[in-house]
Amino acid sequence: MVAVGDRAPDFTLPLAGGDAYNDLTEFQLSAALGDGPIVLAFYPAAFTSGCTEEMCAFRDAMAQFNELNATVYGISVDLPFAQNIWIQSESLNFPMLSDWDHEVINKYDVVQEDMYGMIEVAQRSIFILDSDGTVVYKWVRDSGNPEFEPFISELREEVATLTK
């Protein structure tokens, strides 16, 4: 299990940029380190109400994360083509990472095994990494969803402590 103080497990995933359904590039976490804090926002599934509400709260606060030189990535097991359409439909202003083979949700131990009693998805969770790739904040949902706007503001404050 990844804990605060641990080095974040490295991974390589398809990155959905959102400019077109096939806007895909390769993303490697270790290559993204060093440019500022990274927020990894694991969510169960695109196009669902809770995930849309959460990612739209990030969208609406993105300028505040940008001011801190922080990069936000959504991560789900959705295929990147679906993520691109979702980015477009919700005007999301940050990229999504497609953990289509479930490798990363297992590495980070954030597997929700029974969505709708049928499929394995990411458990809603947040990891904040410093520029060196150390996990400095971890939150994993253990009951209902938080109120997302205040929660995202709290995350922004966590990120701000890294830039002081």
Please give the positions annotated as active site: 51
Calpha distance 33→37 (Å, rounded): 8
**Residue 14, amino acid:** P
Q: What are the phi and psi torsion angles at 71 (to 5°)?
A: -115, 135
Residues 31, 43: Cα–Cα separation, whole Å: 23
Rounded to whole angstroms, the Cα distance separating 158 from 128 reads 8
Single out the residue of 152, 141, 139 nearest to residue 63, CA to CA.
Answer: 152
Residue type, position 37, single letter: P
In angstroms, the CA 36 to CA 22 distance is 28
